[in-house]
C-alpha cells in the first residue's frame, strides 16, 4: 500500500518535504563559568571525558562538553511546548527535561508538562542516559514532535526526572540524537527514523552546516543537500559501522609527516562533540607539532600571535585528504588561545567534532550509509 505521506510529498513542492532548522551558536558552558569566575573549580568537579558517550556501559552515554555551542528549537506536544536541543549525530535518543524533574539542572531549563498536551501518552518504560559525571534518568513517552514545521507523530522521547548537575551550565535543554537506532536507549526509535518511515523527507539524509559566526547561519537540513553551503565536489565516504556515523581514517599528517593515526584508525563524525578528539599519545604529538603547551586538564594553549604561522593539519579519510588550517583548529577565550585537539584517553578512536565540521559541510546519508563531506563555501 502506498505511503500517503510520500504521495503527498510527490504532489507538493519538494521543498515542503524538507526541513531546515536554524542553529544558534550560543555561549558555551566554559564561557559562562569563566564569566562567573568558577570555571576552574567546576572543571575539577566535573572533569571532561569526551569518550564517555562512546564507551560507557549504561543504556546510552553523553558527555559534559563545556564547549558545545550549537542548538536549535523544536517543540513537543499539542499545543507545542518549545525546547532548545543539541542536534547530536553521536547519540540516538531525544530527551528533554520534564516538570517531574527536581534536579538543579532542570530549574533553569524549559520543562515539558504532559498535562498540557492532548496528544501525549506514557510509554511505561524508564530510560537512563549515562554521562561522564552522572546520569539523566526519566520515563519514555510518546507525543508529536515538530522540527522546522514538520510534525513527527507518536515520537518516543525521554522526559527527564533527574539530571547530572553539569547540565545546569548548558544553554540547551535537551538532546536530539541523530545516530542509528541500535544505539538508542530502551529501544526508542530516533526522530529521523520516524521522519523517514512517515515519509516526511524527500531523501533519506540530513546535512549540517556549522558557521563559526555567533550571529547565526548554522543549519541542519533534513531531506536536503543545500549547495549554497559548500563549494566543489562532495566526497562520499562509506560507513565502517552503522551505529555511529563511523568511517575509516588513514592518517593525520602535518607538513607531510604522519603525526597520528599511523596505520589507520576509526573516526566518528559527531556534531555533539566540540573538538577533534583522539588517543592521548596522538593528540599530544599533534599539539607538540603545532607548538602547543598542554596543561593538567588537557587544554593545549598556544601563543595567539603564532596562529598565522602554525601548520595545517590534514586528516585522510578513506583515501581523501581534508585539511584544517590553524585559524580553524584554534580558538580564543579570556584565558588566551588554545587548540581544538582534545585528549580522548587510551581508546583508539577518533571523534571529528565541530572543529572539523565547521570546515566541511557534512551530509549524513541513511539511504546509502555514507557520509558526504565538502569544503564550506
Nine-digit cell string for 143: 507525543
Beta strands in 164-212 (DSSP E): 174-177, 205-209
| Catalytic residue, candidates 270, 282, 299, 354 | 270
Q: Is 173 a catalytic residue?
A: no
DSSP for 255-292, written as a single string: TTEEEESTT-EEEEE-TT-SSEEE-HHHHHHHHHHTT-
Report whether pLDDT(54) > 70. Answer: no
CATH number among 2.40.70.10, 3.30.200.20, 3.30.2420.10, 3.20.20.70, domain 230-375: 2.40.70.10
Nine-digit cell string for 117: 498536551
Q: Is 270 a catalytic residue?
A: yes
**Domains in the chain: boundaries:** 19-209, 230-375
Query: Which band of pLDDT confidence, cut at 50, 70 and 90, is reported for residue 11?
Result: very low
Whether the domain at 19-209 and the domain at 230-375 fall into the same CATH topology: yes
Report whether pLDDT(5) > 60. Answer: no
List alpha helices for the chain, DSSP H: 4-11, 29-36, 39-45, 52-55, 104-107, 191-197, 280-289, 326-329, 354-357
Place of cell 596522538: 282
Report whether pLDDT(57) > 90. Answer: no
The CATH T-level fold of domain 19-209 is Cathepsin D, subunit A; domain 1 (2.40.70)
pLDDT: is 150 or 146 the higher one?
A: 146
Report whether pLDDT(28) > 60. Answer: yes
- Rounded CA-CA distance 120/77 in Å is 7
Q: Confirm if 175 and 93 have CB atoms less than 8 A apart.
A: yes
Mean pLDDT of the chain: 87
| Catalytic residue, candidates 67, 88, 143, 282 | 88
pLDDT of 347: 83
Phi, psi torsion values for 215, nearest 5 degrees: -75, -10
Three-state SS for 246? Answer: strand
Q: Across residues 88-103, what is the average pLDDT?
A: 93
Widest CA span of the chain, in angstroms?
A: 64
Cα end-to-end distance, the chain, whole Å: 42
Query: Which band of pLDDT confidence, cut at 50, 70 and 90, is reported for residue 52?
Result: low
Place of cell 563559526: 212
Nine-digit cell string for 353: 567534532
Amino acid at each position: 500500500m502506498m505511503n500517503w505521506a510520500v504521495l503527498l510529498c510527490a504532489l507538493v513542492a519538494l521543498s515542503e518535504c524538507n526541513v531546515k532548522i536554524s542553529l544558534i551558536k550560543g555561549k558555551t558552558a566554559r564561557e559562562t563559568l569563566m564569566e562567573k569566575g568558577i570555571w576552574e573549580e567546576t572543571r575539577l568537579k566535573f572533569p571532561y571525558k569526551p569518550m564517555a558517550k562512546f564507551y560507557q556501559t549504561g543504556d546510552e552515554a553523553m558527555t559534559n562538553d563545556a564547549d558545545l555551542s550549537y542548538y536549535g528549537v523544536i517543540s513537543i506536544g499539542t499545543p507545542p511546548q518549545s525546547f532548545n536541543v543539541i542536534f547530536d549525530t553521536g547519540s540516538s535518543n531525544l530527551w528533554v527535561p520534564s516538570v517531574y524533574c527536581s534536579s538543579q539542572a532542570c530549574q533553569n531549563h524549559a520543562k515539558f508538562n504532559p498535562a498540557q498536551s492532548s496528544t501525549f501518552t506514557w510509554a511505561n518504560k524508564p530510560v537512563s542516559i549515562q554521562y561522564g559525571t552522572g546520569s539523566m534518568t526519566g520515563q519514555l513517552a510518546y507525543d508529536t514532535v515538530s522540527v522546522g514545521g514538520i510534525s513527527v507523530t507518536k515520537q518516543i522521547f525521554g522526559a527527564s526526572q533527574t539530571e547530572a548537575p553539569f547540565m545546569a551550565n548548558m544553554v540547551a535543554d535537551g538532546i536530539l540524537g541523530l545516530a542509528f537506532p541500535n544505539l538508542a536507549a530502551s529501544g526508542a526509535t530516533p526522530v529521523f527514523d520516524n521522519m523517514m518511515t512517515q515519509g516526511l523527507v524527500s531523501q533519506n539524509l540530513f546535512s549540517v552546516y556549522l558557521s563559526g559566526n555567533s550571529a547565526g547561519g548554522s543549519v541542519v537540513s533534513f531531506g536536503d543537500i543545500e549547495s549554497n553551503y559548500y563549494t566543489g565536489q562532495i566526497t562520499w565516504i562509506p560507513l565502517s559501522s552503522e551505529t555511529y556515523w563511523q568511517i575509516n581514517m588513514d592518517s593525520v599528517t602535518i607538513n607531510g609527516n604522519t603525526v597520528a593515526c599511523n596505520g589507520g584508525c576509526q573516526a566518528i563524525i559527531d556534531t555533539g562533540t566540540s573538538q577533534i578528539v583522539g588517543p592521548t599519545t596522538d593528540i599530544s604529538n599533534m599539539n607538540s607539532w603545532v607548538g602547543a603547551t598542554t596543561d593538567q586538564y588537557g587544554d593545549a594553549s598556544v601563543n595567539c600571535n603564532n596562529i598565522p604561522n602554525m601548520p595545517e593539519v590534514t586528516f585522510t579519510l578513506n583515501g581523501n585528504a581534508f585539511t584544517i588550517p590553524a585559524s580553524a583548529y584554534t580558538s580564543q577565550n579570556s584565558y588566551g588561545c588554545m587548540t581544538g585537539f582534545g585528549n580522548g584517553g587510551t581508546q583508539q578512536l577518533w571523534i571529528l567534532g565541530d572543529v572539523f565540521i565547521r570546515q566541511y559541510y557534512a551530509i549524513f546519508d541513511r539511504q546509502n550509509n555514507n557520509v558526504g563531506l565538502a569544503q564550506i563555501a
